[in-house]
Amino acid sequence: MSDLAWLTARPIAHRGYHDLNDRRWENTLSAFDAAADRNFAIECDVHLSKDGVPIVFHDLALKRLTGEQGTIVERTASEMCALRIGGTEDYVPTLEQMLERVAGRVPVVIELKGIEGHDDGLVAKVGALLAAYGGEAAIMSFNHWLVRQFAEDAPGVPAGLTAFGAQPEHMEAHFSMLAHGISFASYHAADLPNRFTSFLREKLSMPVITWTVRDRATYDLTKAHADQMTFEGFDPDDPSSVAQLR
């Protein structure tokens, strides 16, 4: 297992350091700059466009973020990049543009958003971009069919399982992913502690980060049962901001 101390060294800004989509929106170059300026690691989401380009965007549907109808898999990369986010000047970036902008200033944790029938080549294309990238970066996914591709299609890239739940069926599914070379987990903070994350940390010395810390309860659970948080809506470096969590 590679040294992943960098993954847990600093809080991870969920979709960049945005302001809950007031003026600085999620998954934009502005949000990524704001995170890097504050020395926060960055979490972002990636889909494939219609023409097979990794695009930084969370939703399948375009409406919430761009006001447009349709889905990301119906648009080419150039069509996506022409869209503005939330009526701001920020456009939808490709992953390549995002990596060029971050330029190794802070670590990047990329969640691959699988859509069966529309994600062929996603892992390999992200892996190729990261192979040429000079900064610290990792990939992760909820989608087990993508996790099974990580070792072969993105060799050498630290890879994780994004997960939730604490029921026996969740545990069985999560433990099965240990056969596919994962080196960390990103877990729903409200589902801590659980048998899977405890096993990773205590038996495998594998880091666990959490998603998404927005309140005092998940902040405290992360501090007690994980190694770092993915956060939004407050500044974890500012004690007064942390104190205001409810």
Mean pLDDT value across the chain: 97
Residues 6+ apart with CB under 8 A from 220: none
Q: Is the pLDDT of residue 174 over 50?
A: yes
Q: What is the DSSP letter of 190?
A: G
Could you list the residue range(s) of the whole structural domain that residue 167 is in? 5-243
pLDDT of residue 39: 98
For the chain, give the percent of residues with pLDDT over 70.
99
Contact 199, 232 (CB under 8 A): no
Q: Is the pLDDT of residue 2 over 90?
A: no
- What average pLDDT does range 170-187 have in this prediction? 98
Phi, psi (deg, nearest 5) at residue 110: -105, 120
pLDDT band of 61, cuts 50, 70, 90: very high
Q: Is the pLDDT of residue 154 over 90?
A: yes
pLDDT of residue 165: 98
pLDDT of residue 70: 98
pLDDT band of 31, cuts 50, 70, 90: very high
pLDDT band of 22, cuts 50, 70, 90: very high
pLDDT band of 1, cuts 50, 70, 90: very low
Separation between Cα atoms, residue 179 and residue 77, nearest integer Å: 34
Find the CATH number of the domain harbouring 125.
Answer: 3.20.20.190
Closest CA to 186 of 104, 135, 111, 98: 111
pLDDT band of 182, cuts 50, 70, 90: very high
Rounded to two decimals, the pTM is 0.97
Number of domains present in the structure of the chain: 1
Contact 201, 231 (CB under 8 A): no
Q: Which two tokens stand for residue 73?
A: 């898999």
Strand ranges, E, within 49-141:
54-56, 108-112, 137-141
Count of other CB atoms within 10 angstroms of residue 134: 8
pLDDT band of 196, cuts 50, 70, 90: very high
